[in-house]
Structure 1
Amino acid sequence: MQGAQRNSLRLLQWMMAASLALPIALFVFASTISYTSTNDIADREIERTLDVAHEHALKVFETIDRSLAEINEVVRGLPDDAIRAREPALHQRLKRLTDSLPQLKSAWIFDADGRSLVNSLVSPPPEQGFADRDYFLAHVDHSIGTFIGTPLTPRPPYQGARFFGVSRRRDSDDGRFIGVIQASVLPEYFESFYARIGSDPGSFFAIGRTDGTVLAHFPRLDRDLRLDPTGPVGQKIAAHPDHGLMTIDWASDGIERRIGYRRVAEYPIYVSAGLETSAIRARWYATIGQHLVFGVPATALLFLLLAFAFRRTQHLQAEAAARREAEEALKHSQRLEALGQLTGGVAHDFNNLLTVIRASVDLLNRPQLTEERRQRYVTAIADAVARAAKLTSQLLAFARRQTLKPEVFDVGERIRSLHDMLATLLGSAIEIAIRLPAEPCLVNADAGQFETALINMATNARDAMQGKGRITFAVQVATTVPDTLTHLVGSHGFVSVAVSDTGIGIPAARLGRIFEPFFTTKQVGHGTGLGLSQVFGFARQSGGEVTVMSEVGQGSTFSLYLPRVPPDLLPQRQAPNTAPALAGSGMSVLVVEDNIELANFAADGLTELGYSITLVDNATDALAELVVDADRFDVVFSDVVMPGMTGLDLAHAIGDRGIGVPVVLTTGYSEALAQEGRLGFELVQKPYSIEELSQVLYRAARLRRVRDGAAE
């Protein structure tokens, strides 16, 4: 019990540790998966956003490129004077173009010296040179197609936002350089677009040239930015020039970002989109926080509940220990009281029986005793011995130490056969009702003990009704069984025998004691208190149970449950209980008995019947006799309970040595036989008569002779 309690406390401690360790382990596992998932989701979002930014940049530059091509077609082949002559019309056309394209700040047509022939801002344009601008210089020496310049500040008298130039070369028909057509593109146009699509915290966009010059940036910068082509960004782009993903500390502010980049078709331009890694982590933290919002309180609650259970269990076990100490003291006192009650009851009943025997013996010793009186005293002695044997049997049955003789019989038939005897026993004022099922209810039990149990329950019911009322015997296949039998219910179940009366009932306070030996509410001399204890012992030893339901004034019902056997087994018939003694005719018997008086009684009785007796007082000497010459004995008759080697040990030793002498055992009490059965050996219960003993010995010896004859 204490070991189980320690184990329960240890289990609670393990559960408390597990209530913390398991959620933490699960949290770490879930956090790892969530971190990977969050990064994957962020990468997919960056890719989708980059698709939008790339598509937008491609359309913007293609639109500007087409517009420049259209302007070039308009002025193709026209000398500078002709262009100046048509300046007002061309100015309006350029102005319409820039008004229709929000990404453009202005559009220009320059001559070969970098002077403005036409622009969309002022008509006529002032005499001012722009030959030093990168978008002009790039086309002077050779044709490079569309050129995208660096961010510039407007030159006075022009004002406004910064811009970068997109330009194309003007060629004469013979291929000479005659000027430049240029469009001033607003970086803030890109930045405004990125602000609209980059609503997530930590969003980032950039568009720049392949040499590292950043043209537009979101979040917006207040300074120019140029990335080192040999730096980390340049190296990663060089490794994968078309597109890719990277995590870097961005040069403008040193913030770590996850950035995707892609080249815009054939243009020397890269567009980038990304998220700050802190923003990605913030998403992960938010997800983890959701787990913690539910997980931490649940874990804390579980831990607190287990801690409370642990403390409560400790407290209860401490209380249980104190209660056990008190119960042990009480049980010790009760055992002493029960022992006094038991010895008193046994002494009272046995003294009555011994008084009858002693008086009968004294009377038998008187001279001139008539045969009729002698026979009466002998009968009185025999009856007293029978009652003593019955008392002993009831004690052993309660203690479950009685060696039962199980046999298969029909419970209903057995009760029906007892009807007349029960009617005589109970008296004419008691009505007997028997309810039996249509199908046989077979059990494998000691039939004599079953009848005794039935009579004890009937007698108890009679006394409860004060000799007048109705007793009902009901037999059925049990549909429900007591809790003590639930785990024993086999394929055939149990048979229930219910004995109900219309008596005064049993108070609830006494229900727990009615099966105790010598507990009785009857007056002295009207009962031993062993009747119901015999029923209890017989039921338990037979693998069953007995229960009682009672209410004061409403009668009682005792239910006896016995294991049911398959209905295809036919009941076995018992041999008659009494038969005359059988002559020995020289049959040799080895008697093994440590009680010299009992040994002499058996030897004298068997000798008178013609048996040849060899008497030893222990199993060791008996085995030695058999080893020397086993053929001179027809049968071994041995007590079971003896010092040293028991009779059961002797029987096994005889079998192990291959000695073919049959063994008959005798005992009044044997725990080994009570638990294991007779193990294939003949058994004679003490007290026994010489007649009964002679029959068993004769049968055992005769079977040996038949077996030996068949072997020959």
Structure 2
Amino acid sequence: MSDIHVLLIEDNRTYAQTVGAMLARVSGVERALAGFHLTHVETLSEGLAVLAHGGVDVILLDLLLPDSEGLDGLMRLRATAPDVPVVVLTVLSNTDLAVEAVHVGAQDFLFKTDLHPNALARAIRYAIERQHLTGELQRRTAQLAASEQHLRTVIERSADGVIVLDRAGVVRFANPAAESLFGRSGTDLLGQPFGSPVVVSDKIELDVVRPDGSHAIVEMRVTDIEWGGEAALLVTLRDITDRKRAEEALRASEAKYRSIVEQATDGIAISDADGILVEWNAAMEKITGLQRAEVIGQPAWEVQTRLGADPGKETEAREQMRRSLQQAYQEVAALPPGHKVSSEREIVAADGRRRIVQTSLFPIRTEDGLLLGRVARDLTEQRAAEAEEKRLRDQLLHAQKMEAVGRLTAGVAHDFNNLLTAIIGFGDLLRMKMIAGDPLLEYVDRILAASHSAASLVQQLMAFSRQQVLQPQALDLNLIVRGMDSLLRRLIGEDIRLRVNLAAESARVKVDPTKMQQVIINLAVNARDAMPEGGELVIETGHVSVTDAADEQGVPPGEWVLLRMTDNGVGISPELLERVFEPFFTTKPQGKGTGLGLSTVYGIVAQSGGHVRLRSAPGHGATFSIYLPRCEQPAAQPADAAPGTTPTPAGSGTILLAEDNPAVRDFAVGVLRERGYHVLAAGCGQEALHLLGTYRDAIHLIISDMVMPDMNGPALVKRVLAAHPTARTLYISGYTPEDLAHRGGLATDTPFLQKPFTAIQIADAVRRVLGS
């Protein structure tokens, strides 16, 4: 414990020694307390010099010094060492001066004549203590003042209004922000009632109307405080007008957004950074069958798993979907604004519907982080429409291609018919001239046989091009199939099982029975060749009512009789399906087929008003479905008709023959003249009219080719009939009556002979026309 350093400024040395003795005595007695160390100087100047070195704890000052008098010395000491306490030593006659000294800074005063050691020591210690307390008080007071100034500055500059109310609700303080908020100055506010009831509250809102009529929405908080020693209320006011407007705008924007989202035809979903769904609109409910309440708050991968996982594989699918969505989130997070990632997949909706959905993922950047936006568009109907459009387009292209090939085939068949007419005709004439046993007879028969095979080939071409001559009848298709049972079993062989399932009721159609048999035979042969190791051929008939073309591979709506032939052979690859009906197209080895079997089927069915559809796949056999219009007429019994071979009796009369093909013309002239007819032969219409002009007798029959370079057959016949109205007419052509009718030149009841024809056929036709 250090001694108290006492500086005694006293010009009386004797008195100074007395003071020193007193302090020494006290130090010896009060050992538990700090002792005293005395420094004595006789003048103020010397005292100030000691103070300059520091270390002085207390000053004992005589107010009457050689170089200082009165309070001057005290003032100088306080200025030099304001923290060192001063105790004034004075005589009784200077009491007023001593009291004044305390007022200006001295801690105490002692009378020299009444000085006691203990009183002196106590006065010194108290002076030091009081000086310490006074300094601490001053320091804290300064801090408080500074803090109060800071607080006042904060309040004065605060953007929030601050008002102090007494318990009567009268304004005692208002900062500038409060004045601005209410639109009134402080003098107008102070001393005035606040106006609204005020109670302690956490937060309430007020609508403040300013003197100028403007409004402000204010958020008010009220707390208890003490003001001027009395209970008061601190009211803090925050102008939230802009915030309220922003919130209202946000609510309006959210309502608009919600309306847009809910009215959107595309599904909209949003998930957060953890993959939890936070948005799921009505369109998404419709697409997926999952309601908003079912999915909000659920992980997106859980929901996605419900829309596509195979039964029993949910766990694996869930983990795979979780990884996929995490990867998608990372990819989307790196996308620049306005970009998206799109994909297309099939989902299984909650109600079991399979939907084709296009999904676009895009980032939504917010203050709280990145969200993953998802727009789902149901493309099921669009894809179905596109598939239907493609099917119809392919069907149209296929029909156009077949039509083009048909026109080409018809033209080729017409030219071949002219050639074969001459070959077969002159062959017949040659054979008629030969006697039995003639060694050349065999060659002639071979020529005729080859010519008839060629004619059959041409007939198949014409069947494909729908230009053969049909003789349709109302028949029961069941009877045709049943009547061919034995023939078909021999045709397909014993290693192929034939199973026939016929409709319970009559399957009436209007077809050419011979051509219908050809259709069945061609399909049976095709099935046989597709099952080299054996198998099964199933023939079925039935009735079909088509209401939607898509259900029956594009067959138009209507009532149809169905003939279906199914084999379990090798099947047909997809790339060949569209070509199987093309003429001369075959997958068989060279020499194993003409490629006309299926094209003939196509042509006969199409010419009969029906449709052929094929389903097949490699290793799964083939099914040919033939749709024929249902006929309401009574069915006749099918019967085969064979052309007569009995020689035609001789005839008489004059025939005008117009044929632009010389070989056909010469053959016909030879046959008819041998039968006794007088024939006027012409190579074109104009030549025929010239012959007619020079011939004065009657014309009994006009035989005319339908299509000639300068004048067609009907135009020629019209000119001839004007001069010979009783003449009969027989048209010949390599084209079919149907094709000629389309050309507008042949009436349905007009006698007609299709090329190629034999000598007997043309002779029979002439006899029938002249005899009718």
TM-score scaled by length of structure 2: 0.42
Task: Return the structure number with greater helix share.
Answer: 1
Higher relative contact order (CA 8 A, sep 6+): 1
TM-score scaled by length of structure 1: 0.45
* Higher Rg: 2
